[in-house]
Structure 1
Amino acid sequence: MDIATRVYNHKWKIDPIIRSLIDTDFYKLLMCQSVFRNKPETEVTFSLINRSTSVPLARLIDEGELREQLDHIRSLSLSRGESTWLRGNTFYGKRQMFRPDFMEWFENLRLPAYHLERVGDQYELTFEGKWHEVMLWEISALAVLMELRSRAVLNDMGRFELQVLYARAMTRVWEKIERLRQIDGLSIADFGTRRRHGFLWQDWCVQAMREGLGDAFTGTSNCLIAMRREVEAIGTNAHELPMVYSALAADDTALAQAPYEVLSDWHDEHDGNLRIILPDTYGTQGFLDHAPDWLAGWTGIRIDSGDPAAGAEVAIKWWQDRGEDPQDKRVIFSDGLDVEKITELHGQFAGRTKVSFGWGTLLTNDFRGLVPNDGLAPFSLVCKAISANGKPTVKLSDNPEKAMGPRSEIARYKRVFGVGEQDHIDVLV
C-alpha cells in the first residue's frame, strides 16, 4: 500500500476516517454486550477531554469537516460480512462470544446524535443516551479527531515530501520491531486504535508487526483490522465499567462494592483470558486489599497507570498472599509504552509471571520530530463517561494526573477507597 499517495490524493468520501462500526476496539464490543445485558436503562453522557491543552484542536480542525466525519459515522451499520464474523468467529477459544440478542440489536444500530460546540481553541463534543448506544462513540470520536489533526498538518505537503515522511516513519517502526525481536518470549499486541495517526497507518503497523515478530505478535485491539488481516482480536474491559457502576451507587457502602460488582457481572459472561482485572480505577493497592477471594483465581491483571513496575510488584505479592502462583498469572502492561520500557519491564518480570504488552500510541502514532515544530507529535486526548443517570463519574487512577471528576466527588472517592498521597507522573499519551 502506498500510503503517501493515498494521503496526497485524499478524498475523504473514498477514504473516510471511520469505515465501519467495528473499526473500534474489541473490548468496546465486549463491554457493550455486558452493558446491554446488565444496565440497559442507564443514561450516560460521554465527553471529549483534551489533556494536552497546548494542542488547539479547534484552530487545527475545520468544524464543518469534523461534522461531516461524525455524520458519516451515524450513517454506518454492520455489513453482512462483519455480522457473520462476529457471530461465527472464535474469540479466545470461545465460539459465539456475542449472544444472538445482542447481535440482533447491534445489526440494527445507528449511533445516536452528538453535540458539538467550539469553546475557545477547543471543541466541546458530547454524546448522551442509553449507555450501550453512546459508549460506541468513544473510539470513533477519538480516531476522527486524531486523524483530522494529522490531515491538517499533512495537507500542504507535496507528494515527495509525503513519501519521505512515511518512509522515515516506516523505518522508525521497523527499527522498533527489530529491537523487539531480540526479546525472548515476547508477547505483544496492537492497542493503538484510539490515538492512531490514521486507519491506513494502523493497518500498516499491524502488518509490519505480524511479519516482523511472528508468533510474538498476538493480535490487534481493532476489530476491523483483525477481521481483514485474519489476526486475533484482543481486549477485555476498561475503566468505563467501574466508573459508571460507581456513579450509580446509592451510598458509600454500595460505592465501595461497585468495582467488584462490575467483575461479578463480567464473570457471569466470560472465562479464560477475558478474566483480566483492571484494578487502578480507584487505586490498585486498595482494590486488591479489599478484593473478594474469588478474584485471586482470575487469569491476570492489566497495569494501566502509575509506575508499571510497582503495580506489577503489588499484583505479584497479592497473588502470593492469596495462595496463587504468580507464574500462572498474566500481567498486561498497557500505559505509555515504547520499546525501551517494554524491554525493561520484560527483563524485570519474565519468569516471575506471564508478561504481555498492549502497545498503543507510540506504535500507531509516533511521528515525533518528523515534521517542523513537531506538529505530528502524539498528544493526550480521551473521551470518557462523565455522568450516569445524572450523577458525575469519577476516576482516581494510580496517577493523579489522570484523575477526573468534580473535586468534592474525588475527595469522597479517595476517602471511600482509602487513597492517600500518590506520585505524579507526566502523561504523554
Structure 2
Amino acid sequence: MVDIAARVWNHKWKIDPIVRSLIDTDFYKLLMCQSVFRNKPDTQVTFSLINRSKHVPLAQLIDEGELREQLDHIRSLSLSRGESTWMRGNTFYGKRQMFTPEFMDWFEALRLPPYHLERRGDQYELTFEGSWPEVMLWEIPALAVLMELRGRAVLNGMGRFELQVLYARAMTKLWEKIKTLRELDGLRVADFGTRRRHSFLWQDWAVQAMYEGMGEKFVGTSNCLIAKNRDLEAIGTNAHELPMVYSALAKNDAELARAPYDVLSDWQEEHDGNLRIILPDTYGSEGFLENAPDWLAGWTGIRVDSGDPAAAAEIAIDWWTARGEDPTQKLVIFSDGLDAGKIEELHKQFKGRVRASFGWGTMLTNDFIGLTEGDALAPFSLVCKAVSANGRPTVKLSDNPNKAMGPEDEIERYKRVFGVGKQEALDVVV
C-alpha cells in the first residue's frame, strides 16, 4: 500500500503530476462524450470554472505557474494501449463493446484543446472553448488539479510526522464511517468522489478501504482509472450537462420545453438496463416528471442530486405509482452531499420501498474536516460547467435555487417555460 504521507512530502520535489491519464475521469463523462460525439459533434461550447465558495481564495493559495504546469501536462496526455484495450474490451453494465469503434478511434487520437487562464482578484478565471466532445473532457481533470493544488498549498508547511498523523487521523475517520455503513443490510454504495477529491492517491486509498471494509455492499467507483487498475466496476450514467446544452440550442420556448426529453430519447437509443437512469432536477424535478412522456416511466430509475433527497424520492415514488409502475422495482440513486449519517438515514427510510443506491462523493474522498488548524483542508464547492453552446447561454435551475446558474433573464425564462415555482433554498457545502 502506498505511504500517502511520504508521497505528499515528496510532492515538494514535484515527483508526481496530479492527473496521470485521460481516463482519470468519471465514467459518466465517457458515456456522455460518446453520446455527444454521435449526436452533437459540431456543437461549440464554453466551459468555465465556478467557485461557489468565495471564502476560499484559490489565486492566493495556488501558484499560477504551477497550475499552468499541471494543465499543460494534461494536454500532453493521450490514451495508452492498456487503457484503450480496457475501454474496447471490458464489459460495462453487462454490455461488451460499450464504446463504439468509431468513438474509440477518435478518442485514441485526442489531445485536449487549449485553455484560457487569468487571475481575477483572489480567484482564477479558467475557461475552455471548442467542440463539445473535446471540451467536455476538461471538466473532471481541471477540478481534480485545482482541488489537489489547494490541498498541497495547505500541506506544504507540514513536516513528515505531522503529515503521518494527519493521514492516520483521516484514515481512522473514514474507517469509522465504513464500520457503521457495513452493518446496514442490503446497502449499495459506490464511490462518486473524483471531482472534489483530496488527491488521486487519497481517492485510490478510500476506494481500497471501501472494497475491503464493505465487501459486496461496495459496488464500484466512478473513476475509470481506479476501476481499471483495481479491477472494479466503473459506475456512472449521465449528468446535467446534456440537458443544459440541448436546452441552450433550442430556438424557441417550445423546443426548450422538449429539450430535456430529447436528451433522454437520444440516450435511450444507445443504452438499456441500469444505464437508463433519469436525472430530473436540471429544471425542477416535479415539473419534469409531470410533463414526462409515458415511455420514461419504464426506465430503470432516477438519480436524486439536489434539494431534499427524501422529498425527491417520495415524488418519484408517487410518479411511478401514478404511471402504473411498481416503485419497489425501481432504482433510486442518491448522490447529493452524502455522508455516512445521511446514507444510513435514507437507507432505512426507503428500504423495501425502492431499490436504493448511493453515490458517495466529497465526504468519502475529501473529509479532512476538523483535522487541520482553521479547517484549512475542509472541502468546498468548486464546479466546472458548460456556460454557453453555439453562443447561447446555458441555464441550470436545480431543485435548490442556491445551485442555479445562468443569466438572470434566462433563469426567469426557464422558470416560466418549465413551470418552476417557489423552491426551498438549501446550503451548498459541496
TM range (shorter): over 0.9
Q: 1:395 to 1:125 in 2, by over 3 A?
A: same
Q: 1:12 to 1:225 in 2, by over 3 A?
A: farther
1:306-346 residue CA offsets vs partner (Å, 9 max, x unmatched): 00000000000000000000011000000000011001100
Are 1:327 and 2:328 matched, yes or no?
A: yes
**Whole-angstrom distance in 1 between the partners of 2:56 and 2:422:** 30
**Whole-angstrom distance in 2 between the partners of 1:60 and 1:238:** 30
Alignment of 1:49-128 (within 5 A): 49-128=50-129
Kindly report structure 1 stretches of 4+ aligned residues shifted beyond 3 Å. Answer: 11-14
Residue type of the alignment partner of 2:27: F
What residue is the counterpart of 2:402 in the other structure? 401
Residue type of the alignment partner of 1:269: E
What residue is the counterpart of 1:166 in the other structure? 167
Matched position secondary structure for 2:220: strand
What residue is the counterpart of 1:203 in the other structure? 204
What residue is the counterpart of 2:367 in the other structure? 366
Residue type of the alignment partner of 2:163: L
**Whole-angstrom distance in 1 between the partners of 2:96 and 2:408:** 44
**Whole-angstrom distance in 2 between the partners of 1:15 and 1:206:** 20
Structure 2 runs not aligned, ≥5 long: none
**Whole-angstrom distance in 1 between the partners of 2:94 and 2:412:** 42
Using the TM superposition, give the Cα deviation of residue 11 of structure 1 relative to its aligned residue in structure 2, in angstroms. 5.4
Residue type of the alignment partner of 1:155: N
Matched position secondary structure for 1:291: coil
What residue is the counterpart of 1:26 in the other structure? 27
Identity across the alignment (%)? 80
Please report the TM-score for the alignment, with normalisation by the length of structure 1: 1.00
**Whole-angstrom distance in 1 between the partners of 2:17 and 2:400:** 35
Alignment of 1:166-185 (within 5 A): 166-185=167-186
What residue is the counterpart of 1:378 in the other structure? 379
Q: In 1, are the aligned partners of 2:12 and 2:156 still within 8 Å (CA)?
A: no
Q: In 1, are the aligned partners of 2:222 and 2:234 still within 8 Å (CA)?
A: yes
**Whole-angstrom distance in 1 between the partners of 2:13 and 2:258:** 47
1:217-254 residue CA offsets vs partner (Å, 9 max, x unmatched): 00000000000000000000000000000000010000
Residue type of the alignment partner of 2:357: S
1:337-362 residue CA offsets vs partner (Å, 9 max, x unmatched): 00110011001101000000000000
Using the TM superposition, give the Cα deviation of residue 12 of structure 1 relative to its aligned residue in structure 2, in angstroms. 6.8
Q: 1:157 to 1:13 in 2, by over 3 A?
A: closer
Are 1:131 and 2:114 matched, yes or no?
A: no
Alignment of 1:153-302 (within 5 A): 153-302=154-303
Residue type of the alignment partner of 2:216: D
What residue is the counterpart of 2:419 in the other structure? 418
Using the TM superposition, give the Cα deviation of residue 67 of structure 1 relative to its aligned residue in structure 2, in angstroms. 0.1
**Whole-angstrom distance in 2 between the partners of 1:4 and 1:247:** 45
Residue type of the alignment partner of 2:309: P
Using the TM superposition, give the Cα deviation of residue 181 of structure 1 relative to its aligned residue in structure 2, in angstroms. 1.0
Are 1:344 and 2:345 matched, yes or no?
A: yes
Matched position secondary structure for 2:29: helix
Using the TM superposition, give the Cα deviation of residue 182 of structure 1 relative to its aligned residue in structure 2, in angstroms. 1.3
Using the TM superposition, give the Cα deviation of residue 14 of structure 1 relative to its aligned residue in structure 2, in angstroms. 3.2
Using the TM superposition, give the Cα deviation of residue 302 of structure 1 relative to its aligned residue in structure 2, in angstroms. 0.1
Alignment of 1:36-51 (within 5 A): 36-51=37-52
Q: In 1, are the aligned partners of 2:338 and 2:360 still within 8 Å (CA)?
A: yes
What residue is the counterpart of 1:388 in the other structure? 389
Using the TM superposition, give the Cα deviation of residue 13 of structure 1 relative to its aligned residue in structure 2, in angstroms. 5.1
Residue type of the alignment partner of 2:76: S
Residue type of the alignment partner of 1:111: L
Using the TM superposition, give the Cα deviation of residue 10 of structure 1 relative to its aligned residue in structure 2, in angstroms. 1.5
Using the TM superposition, give the Cα deviation of residue 170 of structure 1 relative to its aligned residue in structure 2, in angstroms. 0.2
Residues matched between the structures, number: 429
**Whole-angstrom distance in 1 between the partners of 2:221 and 2:41:** 28
**Whole-angstrom distance in 2 between the partners of 1:90 and 1:199:** 24
1:131-187 residue CA offsets vs partner (Å, 9 max, x unmatched): 000000000000000000000000010000000000000000000000001111000
Matched position secondary structure for 1:286: helix
Residue type of the alignment partner of 1:228: N
**Whole-angstrom distance in 2 between the partners of 1:12 and 1:353:** 50
**Whole-angstrom distance in 2 between the partners of 1:354 and 1:187:** 9
1:49-92 residue CA offsets vs partner (Å, 9 max, x unmatched): 00000000000000000000000000000000000000000000
What residue is the counterpart of 1:144 in the other structure? 145
**Whole-angstrom distance in 2 between the partners of 1:160 and 1:322:** 60
Residue type of the alignment partner of 2:368: F
Using the TM superposition, give the Cα deviation of residue 26 of structure 1 relative to its aligned residue in structure 2, in angstroms. 0.1
Residue type of the alignment partner of 1:323: G
Residue type of the alignment partner of 1:93: G
Matched position secondary structure for 2:283: coil
**Whole-angstrom distance in 1 between the partners of 2:274 and 2:20:** 29
**Whole-angstrom distance in 1 between the partners of 2:23 and 2:180:** 31
Q: 1:252 to 1:410 in 2, by over 3 A?
A: same
Matched position secondary structure for 2:124: strand
Using the TM superposition, give the Cα deviation of residue 9 of structure 1 relative to its aligned residue in structure 2, in angstroms. 1.3
Matched position secondary structure for 1:9: helix
Q: 1:12 to 1:303 in 2, by over 3 A?
A: farther
Matched position secondary structure for 1:10: helix
Are 1:428 and 2:429 matched, yes or no?
A: yes
Using the TM superposition, give the Cα deviation of residue 209 of structure 1 relative to its aligned residue in structure 2, in angstroms. 0.1
C-alpha root-mean-square deviation of aligned residues, in Å? 0.6
